[in-house]
């Protein structure tokens, strides 16, 4: 008798299907991680540039977005006192994905008069 029985073919196909499902779901999971990391990297770079800009201009509060390049990413700046009397805390929060995701950055600077 030559060839494979129907049962052997079905078992082989079931094994291949299981492996393919595992590989495809793993690939999708890793794509999600890479996308999240890219979003966080962009948000961090934008936040650092905004906090440096705000620090140099002496801004204390504000809101906005990063249009025209990144209009879907918004920022909010607030100033708070710090534990040290001559220092203030500059807090910048960056939001994206309709405020579902955010990143906070804190910078200490000499208190402005």
| Residue 73 backbone phi and psi in degrees, to 5 | -105, 125
Question: Tokens 């495809």 map to which residue?
Answer: 24
Using the predicted structure, report yes or no on whether residue 111 has a pLDDT greater than 90: no
Chain centre distance of CA 113: 35
What pTM value is reported for the model? 0.74
Mean pLDDT of 66-93: 92
* pLDDT for the residue numbered 55: 81
| Residue 2 backbone phi and psi in degrees, to 5 | -110, 155
Q: How confident is the model at residue 113 (pLDDT cuts 50, 70, 90)?
A: low
* pLDDT for the residue numbered 1: 60
CB 109, CB 55: distance < 8 Å: yes
Mean pLDDT of 9-23: 94
Distance CA 14, CA 18 (A): 6
Residue 112 is classified by DSSP as: P
């Amino acid at each position: 008798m030559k060839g494979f029985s129907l049962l052997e073919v079905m078992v082989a196909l079931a094994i291949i299907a299981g492996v393919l499902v595992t590989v495809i779901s793993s690939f999708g999971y890793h794509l999600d991680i890479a996308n999240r990391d890219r979003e966080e990297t962009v948000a961090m770079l934008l936040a650092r540039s905004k906090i440096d800009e705000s620090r140099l201009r002496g801004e204390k509060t504000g809101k906005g977005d990063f249009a025209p390049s990144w209009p879907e990413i918004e920022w909010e700046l607030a100033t708070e006192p710090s534990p040290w009397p001559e220092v203030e805390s500059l807090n910048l929060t960056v939001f994206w994905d309709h405020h579902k995701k955010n990143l906070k950055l804190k910078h200490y600077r000499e208190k402005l008069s």
